[in-house]
Structure 1
Amino acid sequence: MCANHQETVTNKDCKKLPIEVILYFSGIIIFLLGLILPLNASSKQILSTLAMLVSGYHVMWEGIEDTIKESRRQKRFIPNTHILMTMAAVGAVLLGEASEAALLIFIFAGAHFLEEYVEGRSQREITKLLELNPTEARRLTANGKVEIVTVDQLAIGDRVQVLNGGQIPTDGRILEGEATIDESNISGESIPREKTIGDDVFGATINGNTSFIMEVTKDSSDTVFSKILQLVESSQSQLSPTASRIRQVDPYYVKAVLLIFILLVALGPNLLGWSWAHTFATSLTFLVSASPCALAVSAVPATLAGISNLAKQGVLFKGGSFLANLSDLKAIAFDKTGTLTEGKPQVVSFGFKKQGLDEDKLLGLIVAMEKQSNHPLAQAIVDRFEEDKDEIAITIENRLGQGIVADYEGHCYQIGKPTSFASISEEWTAIRTKEESLGRTLIFVAIDDEVGGYIAIQDRPQASAMAAIDYFKSAGVKTIMITGDAELTGQAIGRELGIDHVVANVMPEDKARVIKEEQESTGMIAMLGDGVNDAPALVTADIGIAMGDGTDVAIETADVVLMQNDLSKLALAHKLSKRLKANVAQNLIFSLLVVILLVSLTFWGNLSVLASVTLHEGSTLLVLLNTLRLLKK
């Protein structure tokens, strides 16, 4: 048996149950007793009225309280839908139909609970992140002792100990030890990441079975996780345009219904020749029939459900308006490096001519030379060829304009760009032309001043990029790639990905200008980027989208964040935006048709209050059940 505690009923074996729900079902029991027990008509009326008050006090009082509060705040009469239902229930009791009043409240309050459930479930899915917010840290003092402090007491430069299985308190960098860290609540990636000295770690992620010492690199309010929470909070307060319009119109609609109700009561007997009983009954039925309950829940719960669905899949929206508008995109622009591509150059092709030295030994020499080079492409060559190659001791010389040079066993080896070599045969010139036309960076390998091989390097497209581009093209959205690369390189990547339009040789400060021009010629445009230089373009675009591994500035200025750096998630968000638009349209059309039908039946079909509320609240239930579909993947 659960024990009563303030406003909830709790027990370790049962979930918290709001007092409103307890009273709701208590009222239903009282009503059923009135039907079963052999009581006179007056007693049954009293029990039905009591049942109505017990079950519906919270929705009835909420309507009165909210109306008073909003009216005071705006200094004019601002009624809400609950007022209409409260008036209809009280009116039914005055007509001697207390059982109908009770049933009206049962159905209305039940629909209200379902609405709260739909919105609450959506919000719980989003805000459960708050439970993951770290609160304490093990800070190391100057003499090496551990002190337990709150996370907000940590300062940049503090040394913090993280125990095995412990939560990382804030963003930082590993100073001692190694770790396997679960970053799923940041990136959505389920596979733990291996980290070692010098690697960055993020607050709210979970350490594995080792311990390590880290240095704090960010204030607790500036961590990646805190930015996620800021996105979460703003997403729940900013509604879609449709939802905002419904909320704005709702008080005026309720005022109009109240005015017509008053006119019916005043003019029915005199102008229309109705009896007072018929006038009052018809007016109350109209009050219920015209009530905008289903209209009121057509957009807000749907928007929250859509935001919640995507949040679970690593796509965070700053507000419902951005999710709603995503389906109306005419164009989407992508930064190239780190967005469409991996941002990590790779060897994509190579070839050598044997000149008295086998290929394996030549590759071993190349690896030994590139390991000592500071060229940004050197690591790509080492990563590609290092495995299973014998370590060769060699000394290199960096020569300006010529690349790197080394002497080995009486021969001179040179690795450099094509312009480093005085003469190149037609065969190698043809290879150079072919590779560079594909947007690749070419490196030649020479032995004793004669080119004997080449290595082609390129930043490769992300696995998810091509599928996402294909999706947007099929959806009629123009795709644009903005890159600072040379025209050949940009066009080559663009062709491979199937991009509609490539804008190359763009300086960082010019990206916003390109977005503005496309906006004027094409229409609503989104921009996807990950760097500081993308921030102006993200702000200029109608919808700015940042990659979760991007810079803080990009994430702060964007309207949407893809936590997994997976472009398929952006396609998923676009699809769900279309579903949201269709869902809200279905809800609105259905709700309006039901109101028109019920109002018509009120005047020309002798509709009763009970029948009206049953059909009216039934339509509200159907709208909410339709909305729940948006929580499905």
Structure 2
Amino acid sequence: MTCQHNETNEHSHSHEHDHGKLPVILFFVGLAAFILALFIDAGLVKNMLYVVAMLFAGYHIIEEGVMDTISATKAKGKFTPNVHILMTLAALGAMIIGDFQEGALLIVIFAAAHFLEDYAEGKSRREITNLMELNPTEARLLKADGSTEIVAVSELKIGDQLQVLNGDQIATDGRILAGYSSIDESAINGESIPREKTEGDEVFGGTMNGTGSFTMEVTKDSSETVFSKILELVNQSQSNLTKTATRIQKLEPTYVKTVLVLVPIFILLGPVIFSWDWRESFYRGMVFLTVASPCALAASAVPATLSAVSNLAKRGVLFKGGAYLSNLVEVKAIAFDKTGTLTEGKPQVTDYFFETEEAEQAYIDIIVGMEKTANHPLANAILEKFDSQDELDLDVENQIGKGLVTNYAGVAYRIGKPASFTDIPNDVVLLNQRYADEGKTVVYFSENEEVKGLIAMMDVPNEAAKKVISYLQTQGIHTTMITGDAERTGQAVGKQLGMDEVIGNVLPENKAEIVKGQQAAYGPVAMLGDGVNDAPALVQADIGIAMGEGTDIAIDVADAVLMQNDLTKLSYAHRVAKRLDKIVWQNIYFSLAVILLLVVLNIFGKMNLPLGVIAHEGSTILVILNGLRLLLPIKD
């Protein structure tokens, strides 16, 4: 609620009151009393109605102004006023000099604008907390006799079996035991396209089942699901504000105290400097009290911050608070873990060559038959690339130092590292050297120990990575790739991506030291990793950003999470952070300019109480609406 920020702890969280519908009802009673007073001539009755209008329409303002000041003063052991006390004193001052109508009008306008501000600022909070409504509460528990029972999600235990029908909300994290369906996981990862899921696949609580149905096994307690961790993170984001917002909130009591000191000085100096009579000077003092209130300034950062965090949350980018998002603007260098962050995280066949084109398919049939018996990433890459025409059932042996060996139709075949072969054609040697220089892993295929071909594989760069790296460099951000791979492999990938720096042969425990070195060399540093073996580096960085498709470990460890392995979300987050910074400073400059203008106009006698309140509240609403622009998606 605007003009209502009290420090509840050392981090200065926004404090909100919830009086239900009572303030609204009282406001309309007060408004009716004010309108009635306009049509009554009797002075005493008229003024009594204005007093009723002040007390009823301004009930919540007066209560928050007086009661919050008292409670904050007791808690801190020193006088800690809030901005509402300024409006209360201004209305009281108007009554003292007999301007009951202006005092009542001040309160009525201020209270009406207050409700509008509350609605506008509340919109940003509602946008970010609408995830709460998606929190599942019930599940179909599958009992031993085959029947189902609707139970509370909190009663579920790991190992329970649930039935999920078409259109159901999935109650908790688990694994599909039987069935098939497409599932809308946008609540988890921001991806609007449903995912096809079948037996053995993971499903997440809070997501929506499509047209299929399935049986699932509970694998996590309801408090440990990915969705519950997202809700916890969203809650944190609403209290963790930007440094600017926190600084404004901490300065608010000091600002109000300064105004309270300046008002009596202003009143006393009025007759001396401006030759006002005492009544005019007192009235001008009440106007000063009103227009100098920092409501717009107090609303400069909070709605904008919450709107920005909400904008990102809806697109699968979760920040644990506005402070981390605002820090993204200050980052001068970003370090990336290679595997799974800048690359796809698994090798793919990029090139292959066979000496005899006529025998190529026959060789592929044998290679597929051999690799089907293996169980390692390179075998998977080969099987994804090649299709066999003849399904061969081969007896394959994995010999240490030689690789995969088999005999077929009286001929010996082998797949292994280049160093294990001696009879190698020159063209194969040249290709091997070229592919190795490009950071690719090469295996040879031989017939009776005579090399007949090769296959080159590589963990290929993420499609979005090059575009994101290019964007960061246009922003003057130094990019570094950290990898445990050999230096040559790392440099090859880094060259494809256009990285500024590549550091290879790095052990996981050394990544944090590299980040520390980058901080010394460049300033604030962000680190992107998978949230598991990169944990020390994520913690060391000024902002730790985890890549992960809904992994709870990533959510626990990082300051921000890209819920899908989509690097474009990083550049989007940076653009949102830049706009947040721009809008907050727009609001601050505008708020201070309005206060200065209204104070000057008051000194020259060009401002009265009602006009001062309208201008003051109008500026506050404009500031909030400007912040709410961050709810809109940012286009490239």
- Please say if residues 115 and 297 of structure 1, whose CA atoms lie closer than 8 Å, have aligned partners that are also in contact: no
- Please say if residues 530 and 551 of structure 1, whose CA atoms lie closer than 8 Å, have aligned partners that are also in contact: no
Q: Which amino acid aligns with 1:483?
A: T
Superposition map of 1:100-499 within 5 A: 100-142=102-144, 144-265=146-267, 274-354=276-356, 358-386=359-387, 389-499=389-499
**Equivalent residue for 1:77?**
79
Alpha-carbon deviation of 1:613?
A: 2.2
Alpha-carbon deviation of 1:55?
A: 2.7
**2:108 & 2:561 partners in 1: Cα distance?**
42
- Please say if residues 531 and 550 of structure 1, whose CA atoms lie closer than 8 Å, have aligned partners that are also in contact: no
- Per-residue CA deviations over 1:449-488 (Å, capped at 9, x if unaligned) read 1111111111121222111111111011111111111111
Size of the aligned set, in residue pairs, is 615
Q: Which amino acid aligns with 1:364?
A: D
**1:267 & 1:157 partners in 2: Cα distance?**
78
- Please say if residues 315 and 563 of structure 1, whose CA atoms lie closer than 8 Å, have aligned partners that are also in contact: yes
- Please say if residues 132 and 204 of structure 1, whose CA atoms lie closer than 8 Å, have aligned partners that are also in contact: yes
Farther-moved stretch of structure 1 (509-518 vs 412-421): 412-421
**Equivalent residue for 1:549?**
549
**1:551 & 1:534 partners in 2: Cα distance?**
14
**1:342 & 1:550 partners in 2: Cα distance?**
16
Alpha-carbon deviation of 1:335?
A: 0.8
Alpha-carbon deviation of 1:539?
A: 0.5
Q: Which amino acid aligns with 1:534?
A: D
Q: Which amino acid aligns with 1:480?
A: T
Alpha-carbon deviation of 1:178?
A: 2.6
Alpha-carbon deviation of 1:18?
A: 4.2
- Please say if residues 547 and 555 of structure 1, whose CA atoms lie closer than 8 Å, have aligned partners that are also in contact: no
Alpha-carbon deviation of 1:586?
A: 1.1
Question: 1:531–1:87: structure 2 CA closer, same or farther, 3 Å change rule?
Answer: closer
- Per-residue CA deviations over 1:52-101 (Å, capped at 9, x if unaligned) read 43332222222222112212222222111111011112222333323322
Alpha-carbon deviation of 1:618?
A: 2.4
Alpha-carbon deviation of 1:148?
A: 3.6
Alpha-carbon deviation of 1:30?
A: 4.5
Q: Which amino acid aligns with 1:173?
A: R
- Tell me the secondary structure at the aligned position of residue 281 of structure 1: helix
- Tell me the secondary structure at the aligned position of residue 452 of structure 1: strand
Superposition map of 1:31-46 within 5 A: 31-35=34-38, 37=39, 39-40=41-42, 42-46=44-48
Q: Which amino acid aligns with 1:120?
A: G
- Per-residue CA deviations over 1:347-371 (Å, capped at 9, x if unaligned) read 111121227x532232222212211
- Tell me the secondary structure at the aligned position of residue 613 of structure 2: helix
**1:567 & 1:57 partners in 2: Cα distance?**
51
Alpha-carbon deviation of 1:267?
A: 6.0
**Equivalent residue for 2:12?**
none
Among candidates 71, 85, 88, match of residue 86 of structure 1: 88
TM-score of the pair, normalised by structure 1: 0.92
Question: 1:214–1:378: structure 2 CA closer, same or farther, 3 Å change rule?
Answer: same
Alpha-carbon deviation of 1:51?
A: 3.3
Question: 1:568–1:107: structure 2 CA closer, same or farther, 3 Å change rule?
Answer: farther
**1:57 & 1:168 partners in 2: Cα distance?**
45
Q: Which amino acid aligns with 1:403?
A: G
Farther-moved stretch of structure 1 (247-256 vs 388-397): 388-397
Farther-moved stretch of structure 1 (411-420 vs 332-341): 411-420
- Per-residue CA deviations over 1:379-427 (Å, capped at 9, x if unaligned) read 11111112x7332232222221111122222322221221221232221
Alpha-carbon deviation of 1:23?
A: 4.5
Q: Which amino acid aligns with 1:207?
A: N
- Tell me the secondary structure at the aligned position of residue 485 of structure 2: coil
Alpha-carbon deviation of 1:271?
A: 8.9
**2:474 & 2:440 partners in 1: Cα distance?**
29
- Per-residue CA deviations over 1:149-181 (Å, capped at 9, x if unaligned) read 322222223333323322222212222233322
**Equivalent residue for 1:13?**
none
**1:108 & 1:349 partners in 2: Cα distance?**
72
Superposition map of 1:609-628 within 5 A: 609-628=609-628
Farther-moved stretch of structure 1 (567-576 vs 207-216): 207-216
**2:311 & 2:578 partners in 1: Cα distance?**
14
Farther-moved stretch of structure 1 (396-405 vs 523-532): 396-405
Alpha-carbon deviation of 1:46?
A: 4.0
Verify: 1:512 aligned to 2:506, yes or no.
no
**1:112 & 1:391 partners in 2: Cα distance?**
76
- Please say if residues 172 and 200 of structure 1, whose CA atoms lie closer than 8 Å, have aligned partners that are also in contact: yes
- Tell me the secondary structure at the aligned position of residue 323 of structure 1: helix
**Equivalent residue for 2:16?**
none
**Identity of paired residues, percent?**
55
**2:485 & 2:332 partners in 1: Cα distance?**
25
**2:494 & 2:550 partners in 1: Cα distance?**
22
- Per-residue CA deviations over 1:232-260 (Å, capped at 9, x if unaligned) read 01000111111111111100111111122
Farther-moved stretch of structure 1 (307-316 vs 408-417): 408-417
**1:498 & 1:89 partners in 2: Cα distance?**
64
**Equivalent residue for 1:589?**
589
Alpha-carbon deviation of 1:602?
A: 2.5
- Please say if residues 173 and 219 of structure 2, whose CA atoms lie closer than 8 Å, have aligned partners that are also in contact: yes
- Please say if residues 191 and 315 of structure 2, whose CA atoms lie closer than 8 Å, have aligned partners that are also in contact: no
- Tell me the secondary structure at the aligned position of residue 177 of structure 1: strand
- Please say if residues 531 and 557 of structure 2, whose CA atoms lie closer than 8 Å, have aligned partners that are also in contact: no
Farther-moved stretch of structure 1 (249-258 vs 595-604): 595-604
**2:459 & 2:478 partners in 1: Cα distance?**
23
Question: 1:585–1:202: structure 2 CA closer, same or farther, 3 Å change rule?
Answer: same
Q: Deviation above 6 Å: which 4+ runs of structure 1?
A: 270-273
Alpha-carbon deviation of 1:128?
A: 1.1
Farther-moved stretch of structure 1 (56-65 vs 442-451): 56-65
- Per-residue CA deviations over 1:563-598 (Å, capped at 9, x if unaligned) read 122111111111111111111111111111222222
**1:107 & 1:502 partners in 2: Cα distance?**
61
- Please say if residues 562 and 569 of structure 1, whose CA atoms lie closer than 8 Å, have aligned partners that are also in contact: yes
Question: 1:373–1:511: structure 2 CA closer, same or farther, 3 Å change rule?
Answer: same
Farther-moved stretch of structure 1 (38-47 vs 553-562): 38-47
**Equivalent residue for 1:537?**
537
**1:158 & 1:420 partners in 2: Cα distance?**
52
- Please say if residues 168 and 202 of structure 1, whose CA atoms lie closer than 8 Å, have aligned partners that are also in contact: yes
**1:497 & 1:92 partners in 2: Cα distance?**
68
Aligned-pair RMSD on alpha carbons?
2.3
**1:620 & 1:557 partners in 2: Cα distance?**
38
Farther-moved stretch of structure 1 (546-555 vs 244-253): 546-555
Question: 1:614–1:142: structure 2 CA closer, same or farther, 3 Å change rule?
Answer: closer
Alpha-carbon deviation of 1:144?
A: 4.8
Alpha-carbon deviation of 1:210?
A: 3.0
- Tell me the secondary structure at the aligned position of residue 170 of structure 2: coil
Farther-moved stretch of structure 1 (259-268 vs 87-96): 259-268
**2:544 & 2:116 partners in 1: Cα distance?**
34
- Per-residue CA deviations over 1:281-309 (Å, capped at 9, x if unaligned) read 12101111211111111111111111111
- Tell me the secondary structure at the aligned position of residue 460 of structure 1: coil
Farther-moved stretch of structure 1 (298-307 vs 160-169): 160-169
- Tell me the secondary structure at the aligned position of residue 584 of structure 2: helix
Alpha-carbon deviation of 1:317?
A: 0.9
**2:443 & 2:196 partners in 1: Cα distance?**
33
**2:378 & 2:204 partners in 1: Cα distance?**
29
Alpha-carbon deviation of 1:29?
A: 4.9
**1:115 & 1:480 partners in 2: Cα distance?**
45
Q: Which amino acid aligns with 2:396?
A: I
**2:179 & 2:615 partners in 1: Cα distance?**
66
